[in-house]
Structure 1
Amino acid sequence: MIGLVGLVVPPDGERVPAAIKGVLAALDGHVSERTLVNFQGSMDGDADSSRAWSREGHARLLAAKAAYDPENLLRFQHAVRA
């Protein structure tokens, strides 16, 4: 498991996201396709949103989300996204 943290504050804060992406790119091909829900990467990205569950489990979560949260009120943090 690897966790990357950086403070996005002056004077070098703008370099942190690129540095984290660089480390993740260097690890590409050496990591599992699955992840823990709290370690999905950026909370605003859709690329990792389904990796914490099996394909079937994610489909069930999407169905529950559509049934119980059609207005997408629960959309913060690592929300279930289509």
Structure 2
Amino acid sequence: MALMITDECINCDVCEPECPNGAITQGDEIYVIDPSLCTECVGHYDEPQCVSVCPVDCCILDPSQVESKEELQAKYEALQAKG
């Protein structure tokens, strides 16, 4: 699954620079995660970095973006190929 940021986000700015895929950006009111870029840090780290740094635990699995670890790995490899 890709991750999403809930409306509990306090705009603390710690997640955006931690995302190795550039999937996190400032939205209209809170930060947002682009599911086409989110690999849950598969290929980079053992755990999603936004989840590990979020002080309010608002980075959660997005139930509308179900992906297996294999699919996340394939997305990571495709993103790396695009450079």
Q: Same fold (TM over 0.5)?
A: no
Higher strand share: 2
- The structure whose Rg is larger is 1
TM-score by length of 1: 0.26
**Whose relative contact order is higher, 1 or 2, with alpha carbons under 8 Å and at least 6 apart?**
2
Greater share of residues in helix: 1
Query: Please, what TM-score do these two structures have when normalized by structure 2?
Result: 0.26
